[in-house]
Amino acid sequence: LPKQLKKKALTTFPRYLEIECWKRPELRGLEPVLQAVAEACKQINRIVQRAQTDDVYGVAVDVAGNPLEENVQGEVQQKLDVLCNTIMMQAFCGSSCNIHSVASEEDDEPRCCADVMNDSVFGQGEYIAVFDPIDGSKNIDASLPVGSIFGIYRTQPGKPVNADSFLQDGNSLVAAGYCLYSATTILVLTLGSGVDGFTLDPDVSRFLHTHQDIRIPSNGAIYSFNEANYNDFDEPVQKYLSALKHGSSSIKKRSTARYIGSMVADVHNVLINGGIYGYPRTLGNKEGKLRLLYESAPMAMIMEQAGGAGSTGSRRILDVKPKETHQRVPTFLGSIENVFELDQFYKYYS
Ligand code: AHM
């Protein structure tokens, strides 16, 4: 390091977890799980950093060399997606016996950890986890940011754990987080009492507590929508976007458009600087594009815990009870005043 750049004395992620779990003993069962997830994020970070120089591109193949079948999203799985999915799955399942089952955006059905680890010692725990191992993976080709998203729920006491156990609304999330792989790599986490951020120090490969009690500004100038879909958006969203551009929004700041095309990156920008991120329903995607369990609900928990909001346009995202694990939902996330204004447009124009 140049001499003028001095390292700050910052708490490490494991130490932060130790302290939080000491303060809230009911979270102790999650300590090894979250440690393992942070390690998985470091591994994914390394893969993303090396994507241009290592052989991680191309269609994933089975042991016989045949391309894997399309996943439930109708996409042919890429090597990178499969690799990151395996890393996340093994982190959740193999770190302790506390996670019973996992549901990944990449897999058709939830899986029991005993099956993932091929060992019946696993898959006994009281928690289940949902995750999107690599969100916005198309960005990697152009060296742009991507992310991982996760959420953790409790199993329902007295009920057998199966696919239905994952059909819980976001109010039941015990923890949620994301890791953004960008100019810096940052892990953002909520355990249900505020939001904290941990930046990866690449020299020592440690997440350090750089962002304490993140609070989103109550309003902000950024709007982050794929406006190429404008003609396919609902009328309330069209009117809302027009109001932003014509200065007739109640937010008296000059709007500025930002769209990276990775939800984690776009939402993180809004979390830090204020504004609104939206992936509305379109004529082609009646429920929008984003998955409630793996993307929208964990992000809505983070937004609410940071003082912001997460809405479908007509209700809190956290109140939506999934009917199936891969359910999609129109998603608006951001500063409380910006999201409330969007909701007003839905009330007025619907
Ligand atoms: P993915 O799960 O295939 O990566 O898609 C999710 C991503 C989000 O990260 C992002 O906000 C959105 O898709 C971008 O979609 P679009 O290209 O339609 O704007």
Give this complex's ipTM.
0.95
Contact 200, 187 (CB under 8 A): yes
**β-pair partners for 277:** 224, 333
- Provide the 8-state DSSP code for 331: E
Q: Which band of pLDDT confidence, cut at 50, 70 and 90, is reported for residue 56?
A: confident
Instruction: Indicate which residue's Cα is closest to atom 14 of ligand 1.
Output: 261
pLDDT of residue 61: 73
Ligand 1 atom closest to Cα of residue 147: 9
pLDDT of residue 8: 82
Longest Cα–Cα distance of the chain, Å, equals 61
Distance (Å, whole) CA 79 – CA 278: 29
Mean pLDDT for the chain overall: 93
Q: Is the CB of 325 under 6 A from ligand 1?
A: no
Q: Which band of pLDDT confidence, cut at 50, 70 and 90, is reported for residue 306?
A: very high
Instruction: Indicate which residue's Cα is closest to atom 1 of ligand 1.
Output: 136
Does 64 score more than 80 pLDDT? no
Q: Is the CB of 185 under 6 A from ligand 1?
A: no
Express the helix, strand and coil content of the chain in percent, nearest 5 each.
35, 25, 40
